[in-house]
Amino acid sequence: MKHNISRLIWASGTGVGGFCIVVLSSLYAARRSSGTSELTPPTTVPALISPAPQSLPKTIARTPLTLKTQQGQIEGVAEGDAIAFKGIPYAAAPLGALRWRAPQPAQSWDGVRKATAYGRACTQPSVSVSLGSGRVGSQSEDCLYLNVWAPRNPTSTKQPVMVWIHGGAFVIGASHLPLWNGGPLAQKGAVVVNLNYRLGQLGFFTHPALEQESPGGAVNFGLLDQIAALQWVKENIAAFGGDPNNVTIFGESAGGQSVLALMASPLAQGLFQKGIAQSTYGSPELTRSNAVAMGSRIASAVGLNGANATLAELRTVPAKKFGQLKDTSLSNSPVPISGDPVLPQPILSTFEKGEQARVPLIIGNTSNEASIALDFGIRPAALVQQLGALRGAVRILYPGVNDDTALGLQLVRDAVFTAPARRIATLHASVAPTWRYYFSYVPVGLRSRWVNGVPHGGETSFVMNTVDRDPAIANTLTNADRIVARQVSNYWFEFARSGKPTSANTPPWPNHSPTSDKTLEFGNTFTVRSNFMKARLDTLTALSARIFAPR
C-alpha cells in the first residue's frame, strides 16, 4: 500500500527528477504571467453563528419498519429520527462462475427478511492505516450489499436520494464504517444509500484467459457493481420514500474517483442526476494491455501457471489469497482500468471531449491531502530534498513556505489533488453547473495535532454530519465543530434536494466557470475565493501530462 501511494504521487516513470526538470522550465514564466498573488483578497463574510434548526414542512407520512422491494419484504430498525435498512442484497453473490462477471440480479425471498445487520465487507488486504475510523471486520467474496436510511417522519412522498460510495484506493473499505452512517443526512430529509463493491483483484482484473472468454469485455467489475446498485436504487428507492429521478452520487478519494468514473461511463447514464466528488486525484487509469500483463503476474502469485492459467483454475482460487496480495505490481490501485465497456477511455479524456454526464457537480479537496503519504511512511521532506538546488525554484510557487516538510506536503497536495480537481471543474463547467470547494476547517480540539491542515478524508464526518461518531474528534468536540458540520452537510443536502448548494447563515456559493474561477473555502469562516492558488495550479496543470504519464 505504501508504494501505491508513492506511485500516485510520482506517477509512472517521471519520478522526482523528471518532475523537477519540467517544474524548473515553467516556474518563472508562470510567475511572471500571473498578475495577482496566490490568493486574491477574500470575499469577507461574517463568522459562523449557531443557527436554529431549519423548519421542516408539516409531516405527511411515516416511514414504516417493513417495506416491500422487488426482491421481497424487508424489516428495518429505528435509529433516532431515521429508519435503517441494512445488509440488503442488490446483486447475486459473485462466487464461482460469477467471479469476474457482471453482477447478476439478487434472488427473491419469501416472507420478511431482517435488514438489521450490515453485510460483510468485500475481500481485501489488512492494512495498518485505519479507514473511516474503523476496521472493516468480517470479509467475504459474498459482499454485494447496500444499506438505506430513510427519514422516520418524511416531509414529502419524494425525498432526495444520496448514494455514498466509500473510498480506499479501490482495494480497501466497506460501507458500514461509522463515519459513513447515513442517519444524520436522513434526519435532514434525504434517503441515503451506501454500498459495498468488489475490490482489488476481485473487482478490477483481466487475464489472457478472460480476454479469450470475453474479448473486449468488462474488467472494472467494482464499477459494474456500483452501477448495479444504482439500478437497484432506480427500481426500489420509491418504496423508501426516495425520488428515483433525484439521485446524487457522492464519495471521497476512490469514492470521489468513482463518481467521476460513473459520470464518464456510458453504462451509468441516466442513473443519477447530480454528483459530488471529494478528494479526487490526478493519477491516470491503468491501461487494458497493462492490466492483462498484470493478470498473468497475479495468476503466478496465487500459485497458477501465469498467462497459461485457465479461468476454471482462477475461479477456484480462494478469495482470501487475492486479499493477501500486497505487491504493487499486482494491483491497479489507486485507479480503475480504461479500455472496457465501463470506461472506454480515460476519465480525463471523456471530460476533455465533453462526453461525460452533464449533471451538476461539486468537486474539491482538503488542505492536507498529502497526509495519506505520511500514513504510508513517505517523507515529503525527503522528496523536496531530492530536488537539490531546484528547491529554491519550487519555493517560488509557495511564498513563505520554508520548511521542507510543509513544502513537500503542499506540493504533493496540489499536484495530485488540487490542480486535477480544478481542471475537472473547469472542463465540466463548460457543460453543466459546477461548484468548487477547499476544506480547511480543523476541529478546535485537534489544532495542536493537525498542524498541517485537514488530512485526507478529514472532511467526511462534517459532510455526513457524523462528527459525534468520529473517534478522532468526538472526545474534543466543541459547539463550533458541530455548527460547521451542520452547515457543511446542509450544503450537501440542499444540493441533493434542489441542485443548488446553500446553507443558512453562510455565504452564497458561486459557480466555478472557465472565466470565473471561484472556490468556497470551508475554514474558520466560510469564504469565497477568487483565482484560488491560481499561479501554482496553472503551472501544475500545464505539467500534468508529464507528472501523470499513462501506465
Q: Catalytic site residues?
A: 253, 369, 456
Q: What is the dihedral of CA 304, 307, 310, 315, to 10 degrees?
A: 60
Mind giving me the DSSP string for 52-65?
PPPP-PPP-----S
Please provide residue 472's backbone torsions phi and psi, each rounded to the nearest 5 degrees: -75, -20
**Cell 420514500 sits at which residue?**
241
Number of other residues whose CB lies within 10 A of the CB of residue 513: 15
**Which residues, in sequence order, are CB contacts of 338 under 8 Å at separation 6+?**
284, 285, 286, 287, 288, 344, 345, 346, 347
Q: How far does Cα 517 stand from its chain's mean position?
A: 23
Q: How many residues does the chain have?
A: 551
Q: How far does Cα 475 stand from its chain's mean position?
A: 26
Which three cell numbers, joined as nine digits, stand for 279? 478528494
CA dist 421 and 260 (Å) reads: 11
**Cell 439478487 sits at which residue?**
106
**Cell 419484504 sits at which residue?**
73
Which three cell numbers, joined as nine digits, stand for 47? 463568522
Q: For residue 334, is the peptide bond before it cis, meaning its omega torsion is within 30 degrees of 0?
A: yes
R_g of the chain computed on alpha carbons: 23
CA dist 243 and 343 (Å) reads: 27
**Cell 492536507 sits at which residue?**
368
Q: How far is CA 106 from CA 145, 324, 358, in A?
A: 10, 28, 30
